[in-house]
Structure 1
């Protein structure tokens, strides 16, 4: 007969008393993790899932703003933390989740700024920069209630995460064209420009748009709009006669572009004539702004511009015909003008008239020299000289050109000297002769483009 003994335990988390166990095995579980592990190891998956669900529901109901918000477990690295989740969209509006942060700007580009934080954000947005910051502390607010939520996602991120302020995405560029106002039909000056926000200057109270990011355009178009005028007018869907200025120039890499210079000169010429321009949205057909004030990076008079435009139109025609692209020099020489006239005469199939003071020829045989001396005795002395010509113009070389020069009336400048040279001439010797105008000094020059294949 067994004797019962009294069992006494003190200072234990779990009090267990076993009497007459008859060698039974006892396993003590004193935490939810141990209990879940035991269920999983014993194959009680359904019971384990139900247990997890109870824990999850418990964590949800434990939120300080329950039933409006619940805790949702989130993994961050190897840790699991909780995040605040509203139960529906309306709750998120009635009790908005907000964070108040204390941080310093690490980014050297912006850390030295003396402007306001809003202005720093504007600059970063325009440049599409990410601003690196050092997050020191963060407070969680739901509605007007401050939440003590140590161990949540945001509070844990303060300790371990790298923080950056991401720029707000800029809207796509506005596609516009610049048109000149006309009584009958508007005339397009520059057809396709992509304007993007490039600066907001709060001190000057202006907003600046430009197309500096548009690689396809040789022109740099900058539109400066009074901020107050812009804010007032943008609510109407378009800007009409806003207080604005435009500046058009040629980008550095396109300084010698003929077509770009031509369009800029057209714009400048019409501004000097006090012509109004409109920037028209190509997608909507509506006016973006009407321009009446201009900043022009070019000093010019109307007469000089008109003269330059005539020259540029010739170059555009030559580029198209000969399939070349010129890069115009800042200083245009007399030889450049002569080359342009020659190439235009080929395109227009016409001869060039001119005069001459003298003609120098070389004779390489006694027979040819004798013929020139005898021919000099006749009343009319006519020459035609043909040769191949190579044109070098504004960085381009045009070959395959034949030149024909017709001298209508010439005579030997010194016949007696030519006769003496004939008398002393030996085979293989070269004799130079000089001819001067006879009864007139007219010269006709004809150029043909044969090209390299023919």
Structure 2
């Protein structure tokens, strides 16, 4: 009697044929649709799979089982299915943390968090235990938390940030120099003192204010931000503003948002260390360096030590550029003259009395071993009288054209001299 063969039947997605179970999985169905180009069919298979996963959640129909990719890993999680689910069974995390021993002197966690906020310091955590919750029940899927804990080696609690920087204007009474737009932000709060700064603004002048709330005092510190490589122009503004501050006049910090005074007071303790003896000398020095650089389209590299000759040359050329002339007094002077027909005639007709002597010549000024040329300088000596006029006349009679004669002049009466400069001859 022959053996009976079992007829294949469809049973829950599987086929039984000749006692062999042939799996017909969701993956097979998905690949079959994709290979056939049936995208809609593939989407239906995936929707069926998602529904099948969802119902296994113990809190269904409020939550379903979802799958989330974190990096290269798939992690199960509890997916809320409605707003009601979140309201009735709110997802949350509870846990325990232990802080570093450096915080052992703090009374409680609130004090630690207060310290963290006021100093904007991250709090170090020694150990942390976390658990996901759904309402008051433990979330059955802790994969996200477990993955986070396994991949994190160092824990720190970040402080809540101070409010963002706000725009202000800083002015000093009686001064035409002001800083019309600085962004001040709280950087620290300590011992009833609030520290504000504009360092986040990344500009060449840094303002730091300390508001002493207990004693009702404000400390101001202004400095150049060397990381920003301040220009001569910004340095000059800084020095002029500092000069106004040293005058101990009233200052004001004005909110640009509200057009209101944030704080004001008298500058009775403002100090400034000056390498030039006084701030006026430094202002003049930087101003003249700026004029020289601008006129000659160059950069003057200032060494750490400035020799007296260089300093004198800077002031000379700076005054020439700023005022166009330099005045002074003179007593006497000896000059070389080249004998010519015109010179001989002028000496012959010269009377023995004072006159204005004018000499014309180019000028070379050397600053830090670098030459700067003035095309034309007219130097006029007031009330000049030639010394030993008769002897000079006799010498001129015997000298030939091209010879050089030294002549001495002395000042009589008004002994002023004027140097006038021509920088751009047409």
TM-score bracket for this pair, using the shorter chain length = 0.5 to 0.7
Q: Secondary structure at the match of 1:298?
A: coil
- 2:141 corresponds to: 149
- 2:418 corresponds to: 445
1:200 to 178, 188, 192: 188
Contact preservation (8 Å) 2:338, 2:405 = yes
Q: Name structure 2 gaps, 5 residues minimum.
A: 7-11, 107-111
- 1:250 corresponds to: 224
Contact preservation (8 Å) 1:83, 1:153 = yes
Show the 5 A alignment for 1:219-368: 219-225=205-211, 244-252=218-226, 253-254=229-230, 257-269=235-247, 272-273=248-249, 275=250, 277-291=251-265, 296-298=270-272, 333=311, 336-346=314-324, 353-365=327-339
- 2:109 corresponds to: none
Contact preservation (8 Å) 2:63, 2:79 = yes
Contact preservation (8 Å) 1:390, 1:399 = yes
Contact preservation (8 Å) 1:360, 1:435 = yes
Superposition CA RMSD, Å: 5.5
1:218 aligns with 2:204: yes
- 1:74 corresponds to: 68
Q: Name structure 1 gaps, 5 residues minimum.
A: 8-13, 19-23, 106-110, 230-240
- 1:189 corresponds to: 178
What number of residue pairs does the alignment pair up?
Answer: 400
1:414 positional shift: 4.3
Q: Secondary structure at the match of 2:188?
A: strand
| TM value normalised by structure 2 | 0.67
1:62 positional shift: 3.3
Q: For residues 146 and 389 of structure 1, do their structure 2 counterparts lie closer, same or farther at Cα, with a shift above 3 Å needed?
A: farther
- 1:123 and 1:395 mapped to 2: Cα distance? 53
Contact preservation (8 Å) 1:220, 1:249 = yes
1:384 positional shift: 1.0
| TM value normalised by structure 1 | 0.64
